[in-house]
């Protein structure tokens, strides 16, 4: 399997795992604090009309600068650790800022056309209702995305069976559609101040989570299509279910074939012959350990036993990475490591590798189209559940911001 152009382009531009210092958002935090101070000064020193114009200028400079800093952090995060929920955060927030900038551009055009009519109250109105407007604009996309998600989940359930994990896409589709319906319903009915606050806040939170979902999809795609450099000492292949006769299933065979292709291309390019670390124990309904099934397959393809290591104690992806790392570290603590797994599983496997403090670059093996959407939804769910503290702070910040804006708007 030759290197794909998209994967080579990503490797040349992003250079996974080449940065050893974790990027931070301290510059963005400092800039945000400065802007808040300047905004308070403007509000106290100038009348309503002048304050509105100065706020347009201030935030017109801040939002693009914030977007640039976020994109820079995303680029550095890819070079430090692409398999991180920070990758989703930075992508999602960048997209969220694009919506904010669009709102600000509308205000700037409004100010240029009729400066006398612009005031802080008009600015607050535009900001309060902007999320609702974006939800209406993205309605066709949400409808198509939800339909595609349902179709892929139905196909997944028909071929792989039911279960809560395989229902995630249908559940998310229902939530997305319900959210759009609630906002459309609210738009045709006037409500009290409290109702308007709740609907505006709901729209902002909905828009935020939509951006994060797109961030999860982007992170999955980048991880899956990235082509690792041909300099690996070891190739980890995580196991999965095998057939009743002890041979690999199509999914597991795909992982092995992808690793084999990488192995042969590296050797053909004059590089070292990497060692395969085959990771997977024996399930209750399996006749042999998964690692042995994989070893037999590789031997049938001409790989010598000296190039194979077996890890037969692991039961899940985290243990695959943990125990494989122990085998590799005992032989070569400074080894360059790659891993081969199914394309929709690369990001999650990379997350687990970094959790056990192992730097490894993943490669994705092709699989059925209907696995993809559910995998992205799973990463999105992981973002929410594994970073509950961050999500709580973000939501509290949104609630506080919209409450203050609503009080200022209706009190002016």
> Is the pLDDT at 163 greater than 70, yes or no?
no
Closest CA to 326 of 304, 310, 305: 310
Q: What pLDDT is stored for residue 54 in this prediction?
A: 81
35 and 92 belong to one structural domain: yes
Answer with the one of 313, 335, 357 that is the final residue of a domain.
Answer: 335
Q: Which of the pair, 312 or 389, is modelled with greater confidence? A: 312
Backbone angles phi, psi at 340, to 5 degrees: -120, 125
What pLDDT score was predicted for residue 313? 94
At 359 the three-state DSSP class reads: coil
User: Residues 214, 247: one domain?
Assistant: no
Q: Is the pLDDT of residue 297 over 80?
A: yes
Residue 12 belongs to some domain of the structure: no
Pick from 395, 396, 405: nearest CA to 130: 405
What pLDDT sits at residue 187? Answer: 67
Is there a single domain that holds both residue 221 and residue 244?
Answer: no
Residue 328 pLDDT greater than 90, yes or no: yes
pTM (whole model) above 0.75: yes
353 has a pLDDT exceeding 70? yes
Return the pLDDT at 189: 60
Average pLDDT over residues 301-309: 96
Confidence (pLDDT) at 116: 63
Examine the fold and report which residue of 285, 305, 335 is the final residue of a domain before the chain moves on. Answer: 335
Percent of the chain at pLDDT > 70 equals 94
Residue 174 lies inside a defined structural domain of this protein: yes
Give the domain-ending residue among 283, 307, 335: 335
Pick the residue with more confidence: 156 or 355?
355
- Tokens 């070079």 label which residue? 79
pLDDT band at residue 46, thresholds of 50, 70 and 90?
Answer: confident
Instruction: Please check whether residue 121 lies inside any domain of the structure.
Output: yes
Asked if the structure places residue 37 within a domain, the reply is yes
Asked if the structure places residue 340 within a domain, the reply is no
Which of these, 355, 338, 273, lies nearest to 308 by C-alpha position?
273
User: Does some domain include residue 350?
Assistant: no
User: So what's the pLDDT on residue 108?
Assistant: 78
Which has the higher per-residue pLDDT, 293 or 100?
Answer: 293
Closest CA to 91 of 387, 383, 399: 383
CA distance 379 to 238: 19
Alpha helices, DSSP H, located in 114-241: 120-137, 139-160, 168-187, 193-225
Q: Which of 29-43, 187-201, 385-399 has the highest mean pLDDT?
A: 29-43
- Average pLDDT over the chain, rounded to whole? 87
Task: State the pLDDT at residue 369.
Answer: 77
Q: What's the number of domains the chain is made of? A: 2
Is residue 3 over pLDDT 70?
no
Tell the burial category of 119 from Cβ atoms under 10 Å away from its Cβ (0-12, 13-18, 19+): middle
Evaluate whether residue 346 is within a structural domain: no
Q: ∠ at Cα 218 (17, 348), nearest 5°?
A: 60
Say if residue 138 is in the same domain as residue 287: no
pLDDT score recorded for residue 274: 97
Element (H, E) at 309: strand 308-311
**Between 196 and 227, residue with greater pLDDT:** 227
Confidence of residue 205 (pLDDT cuts 50, 70, 90): confident
Same domain, 252 and 210: no
Question: What gap in Å lies between CA 173 and CA 153, rounded to an integer?
Answer: 10
Same structural domain, 174 and 254: no
Looking at the fold, whether 175 and 272 belong to one and the same domain comes out as no
Looking at the predicted structure, is the pLDDT value of residue 153 above 60? Answer: yes
Residues 233-288 pLDDT 10s: 999 999 988 999 999 999 999 999 999 999 999 999 999 999 999 999 998 889 99
One domain for residues 194 and 238:
no
Q: Quick check: 167 pLDDT over 70?
A: yes
Q: Do residues 312 and 218 share a domain?
A: no
Predicted confidence (pLDDT) at residue 2 exceeds the cutoff of 60: no
Verify that 91 and 184 share a domain, yes or no.
yes
209 and 272 inside one domain: no
Take residue 259 and report the two structure tokens written for it.
């690793």
Q: Tell me which residue range forms the domain holding 262.
A: 234-335
Q: What is the mean pLDDT of residues 8-36?
A: 89
Tell me, what's the pLDDT at 119?
64
pLDDT, one tens digit per residue, over 72-83 is 999 999 999 999
Confidence of residue 155 (pLDDT cuts 50, 70, 90): confident
**Residue 268 within any structural domain of the chain:** yes
Q: Tell me if residue 13 falls in helix, strand or coil.
A: helix
Q: Are residues 212 and 239 in the same domain?
A: no
Q: Which residues pair with residue 260 across a beta bridge? A: none
* pLDDT on residue 260: 97
At 323, the pLDDT band (50, 70, 90 cuts) reads very high
Sheet arrangement for strand 275-279: 308-311, 275-279, 234-238, 337-342, 361-365
């Amino acid at each position: 399997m030759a290197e794909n152009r998209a994967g080579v382009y990503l490797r040349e531009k992003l250079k996974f795992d080449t940065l050893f210092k974790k990027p931070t958002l301290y510059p963005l935090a400092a800039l945000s604090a400065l802007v808040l101070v300047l905004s308070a000064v403007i509000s106290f020193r100038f009348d309503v009309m002048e304050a509105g114009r100065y706020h347009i200028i201030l935030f017109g400079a801040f939002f693009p600068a914030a977007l640039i800093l976020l994109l820079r952090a995303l680029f550095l995060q890819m070079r430090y650790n692409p398999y991180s929920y920070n990758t989703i955060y930075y992508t999602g927030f960048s997209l969220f800022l694009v919506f904010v900038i669009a709102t600000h551009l509308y205000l700037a055009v409004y100010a240029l056309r009729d400066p006398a009519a612009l005031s802080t109250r008009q600015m607050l109105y535009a900001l309060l209702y902007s999320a609702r407007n974006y939800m209406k604009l993205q309605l066709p996309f949400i409808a198509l995305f939800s339909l595609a998600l349902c179709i892929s989940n139905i196909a997944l359930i028909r071929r792989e069976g039911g279960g809560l994990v395989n229902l995630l896409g249908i559940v998310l589709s229902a939530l997305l559609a319900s959210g759009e319906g609630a906002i459309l319903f609210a738009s045709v009915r006037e409500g009290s101040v409290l109702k308007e606050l709740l609907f505006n806040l709901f729209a902002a939170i909905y828009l935020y989570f939509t951006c994060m979902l797109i961030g999860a999809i982007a992170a999955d795609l980048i991880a899956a299509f990235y082509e690792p450099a041909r300099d690996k000492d070891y190739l980890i292949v995580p196991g999965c279910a095998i057939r009743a006769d002890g041979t690999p299933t199509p999914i597991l065979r795909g992982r092995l074939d992808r690793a084999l292709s990488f192995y042969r291309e590296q050797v053909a390019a004059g590089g070292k012959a990497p060692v395969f670390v085959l990771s997977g124990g024996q399930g209750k309904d399996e006749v042999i350990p998964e690692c042995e099934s994989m070893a037999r397959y590789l031997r049938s393809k001409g790989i010598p036993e000296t190039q194979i290591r077996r890890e037969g104690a692991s039961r899940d992806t985290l243990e695959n990475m943990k125990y494989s790392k122990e085998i590799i570290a005992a032989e070569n603590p400074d080894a360059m490591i790659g891993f081969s797994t199914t394309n929709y599983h690369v990001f999650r496997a990379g997350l687990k590798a970094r959790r056990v403090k192992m730097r490894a670059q993943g490669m994705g093996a092709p699989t059925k189209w209907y696995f993809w959407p559910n995998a992205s939804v799973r990463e999105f769910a992981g973002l929410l559940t594994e970073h509950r503290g961050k999500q709580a702070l973000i939501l509290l910040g949104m609630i506080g911001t919209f409450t203050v804006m609503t009080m200022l708007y209706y009190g002016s």
